[in-house]
Structure 1
Amino acid sequence: MTGFPRSGLLGSAAVGLGLLAAAWTTSATAETYKWITFKPQGAGDAQAISTQWFVDEFKTRTDGKHQIEVFWGGSVAKTREVPDSLAAGVGDFGDIVTPYFPDRFPLNNAVGFFIPQPKSTMEIAELMETWHATYPQFGQELTSQNLKAIGYRPLESYGLLCTSPVRKAEDLKGKRIRTYGFAYPALVEALGATPVSIATSEAYEALERNILDCTPIGPALAHGWKYDEVAKYYIEIPLGASFGHLIAMNLDTYNGMDEETRTIVDQLGSEYAKAYSDELDATIAQVRAGWTEKGVEVIEFPTEELTSIVGDERIQAVRKEWINRADAAGVPSAEIVKELSF
């Protein structure tokens, strides 16, 4: 009978079983993580583009062993559902719009109490990273809810988009200006204008119908929401960048990663703000370049006329509210306040 010797058959079988076991082990340890976001995939803005950057880099740096699948456009969790969905493990990564949860994340909403302030998008991202590294209370605010911040996505520096020219503080008297959050209502009142609470999605029509005279916004968002179709004056009033989104993870997922993968996530989180900020800057430059043809006039606002009102008691009362929260949490607030002051 012609064939393999018995020892050869056993050897071949052993090799085959070994290859099968190796393949099974590789398959068992490979992971596909879920990223849940409210952003539409085709938005084409800095937020969506930088999210895809993170996903692509994660796959590359893990040599394709792990990957992230993005569930775009609120398909798994709407904007206000993301923190609970992440905490419950419905997703592994996600975008938390921090200002929507002022009582849930009071420390991480610090910047929202200090408008106007002098910092840019990248500077605010760096401050947030520093605060998380320096004051454990910032992170504990998240870990207590089974969440972990791995990156920071501040919004762009804001000015005012208006339906008529504003060249000095006096021109703002009586204007109806869209407000939200903590600092903007107090700031608008201190400027002698009238704060009006209107949702982002409704502001286009409000500007078009003269229900609003102005809205605080940056060039990229003004173009993205098409507000610059109905309001043709962009006022360079230095409101500063405001903090927008945490790039967060389910804490159990993060802790369950092997050390190598966790290190990659930490590196990407640290690099994320630069990738996002670079994309945002490119978008802003493109929007500004197109404004001339679109008939949008950019008007410089005297900085001193804004900074001179920061001492107004209404503005200071808002800032004091956050200071009290920080003090109660054991965070020394003086250095943070100094960073966010002109």
Structure 2
Amino acid sequence: MKKKIACAVLGAMLLGLSLTACGNADNPSTGEITESGYPKREFIVAAIDSHDKTSAHEIEIFTNLVIERSGGAITFKVFYDNLLGKATDNLNTLSSGIADLGTVCTLYTPSNLPLSQITYCVPFAPDDPVLAAKLMYKVSEAYPEFYEEYEKNNVVCLGWKGNEPYKLYSKGPIEELAQLKGKKITLGGVYYIPWFQSIGAVPVNAAAADLYQTIKTGVASGSFVYDSIYCNYKLYEVEDYCLEVGLGARNNNVLCFNKDMWESLDEKTQQLFQECADEAMAEFQDWQQSEMDGWEQEMLDNGVTISTLSDEAKAEWAETALGYQDTLQTWIDEVTALGYDGAGIMSAYLQAGEELGYEWHFDTTPYIQ
């Protein structure tokens, strides 16, 4: 029995060592420069979902582009569905060299990537994922510290993507904010919780897989999630009203490369990866929009009533939420304490949104420098 246990432990250790060896700067390659001008090489990829899901589809697009552009010289061994570690720990999976490339969800890394949390702390940000992504790229051009905070974690940020917006789903219609008082709503997030608490809603914690039973049994009467989650788990069977609240699309997921591995690459290969990352992110946004249209149609086909929160109600909620807890100032104070120009960055972020044609639903005057 002891021998069997020892063998099992040894096997697990060898697997870990094998993957680490594949994913560090000593990753073996033939050294052969192919006709395409790129070295023959394979990279390890850690994806946090399956290839056809919004949390990982950019991986499939990116790797296919690189393989094609390199003439097949560069290939990838992709581990989908968190096979190399939990999604919440993918930053460590990449920074430690277990994998060379992967997606980092910034929602899980507030202490490691504090600047990137700016995407979560502003209520009623753009609902359009493309605009949300443009906003992050624009502010990072003015403040390269956004890229530098990734490098401090031994990864290189190749690009941000805008994720589909959260919406509020419920058993009954919600026509005004006052109806949310006392309602139990499943939601999470450092900033979402106080926003809902400010109007009297009661946050309930529930994993995506548990939402159906949570709503069906009455533990909660509504959920604040993505259309994709709502449709994947057929939540329209237990809650058939959708309110597009407009709290905003977020830049949750970032395509990252292990920094040690990145610095071992020649300039031409780095340029290929960056160009393919830029193209993959743009292609992903088009694909995601198509998926979003499909989810909405699925909802309509299943009798879901969809409505939109008025601009007046958004302004009222934003004022109430920021009066309850000024999440913008909270973020400013937190990053300022870390040595960043929090006020300057927030000002640039809000102004960038306006320059991109977005109209904020709250008074930005106190935050604009």
Q: TM-score band, normalised by the shorter chain?
A: 0.7 to 0.9
Matched, 1:98 2:106: yes
* Cα 1:247/1:323, change in 2 over 3 Å: same
Which residue in the other structure is 1:240 paired with? Answer: 248
User: What amino acid sits opposite 2:341 in the alignment?
Assistant: G
Displacement of 1:25 in angstroms is 2.9
1:329 equivalent to 2:336? Answer: no
* SS in structure 1 at match of 2:166: strand
Between the two structures, name the one with larger relative contact order (CA 8 Å, sep ≥ 6): 1
Counterpart secondary structure, 2:85: coil
Larger radius of gyration: 1
Partner in structure 2 of residue 179 of structure 1:
187
CA RMSD of aligned residues (A): 2.1
**Distance apart, 1:53 and its partner CA:** 1.2
Match of 1:111 in 2: 119
* Equivalence for 1:192: 200
Question: Does the CA-based 8 Å contact 2:46-2:78 persist in structure 1?
Answer: yes
Give the secondary-structure state (helix, strand or coil) at the position aligned to 2:210. helix
- Identical positions, percent: 20
Partner Cα separation in structure 2 for residue 149 and residue 302 of structure 1:
37
TM-score by length of 1: 0.86
The equivalent of 2:32 in structure 1 is 25
TM-aligned CA deviation for residue 315 of structure 1: 5.1
What is the aligned residue count?
318
1:291-330 equivalent positions in 2, closer than 5 A: 291-312=299-320, 313-314=322-323, 316-327=325-336, 328-330=339-341
AA aligned to 1:25 is E
Displacement after TM superposition at 1:280 (Å) = 1.1
Output aligned runs, 1:119-198, within 5 Å. 119-198=127-206
Unaligned runs of 5+ in 1: 1-22
1:52-80 Cα offsets, whole Å, 9 max, x none, are 11111010111111112211111112212
> Structure 1: which amino acid aligns with 2:133?
A
Measure how far apart 1:146 and its partner are: 0.7
C-alpha displacement of 1:189: 1.5
**In 1, Cα distance between equivalents of 2:264 and 2:139:** 25
- Deviations along 1:136-185, one digit per CA (max 9) or x if unpaired, are 21122111111111021332122211111111212222211122112211
Quick one: structure 1 residues 281 and 24, their matched pair in 2 at CA, closer, same or farther if it must change by over 3 Å? closer
Distance 1:216 1:238 in 2: 12
**Inter-partner Cα distance in structure 1 for 2:32 and 2:250:** 46
Once residues 338 and 186 of structure 1 are traced to their aligned partners in structure 2, the CA distance between those partners, rounded to angstroms, is 25
Q: Which residue of 2 aligns with 1:262?
A: 270
Q: 1:46 to 1:179 in 2, by over 3 A?
A: closer
> Secondary structure of the equivalent of 1:239?
coil
Q: Which moved more, 1:158-167 or 1:201-210?
A: 201-210
Aligned partners of 2:48 and 2:55 also within 8 Å: no
Structure 2 unaligned runs (5+)? Answer: 1-29, 354-359, 362-369
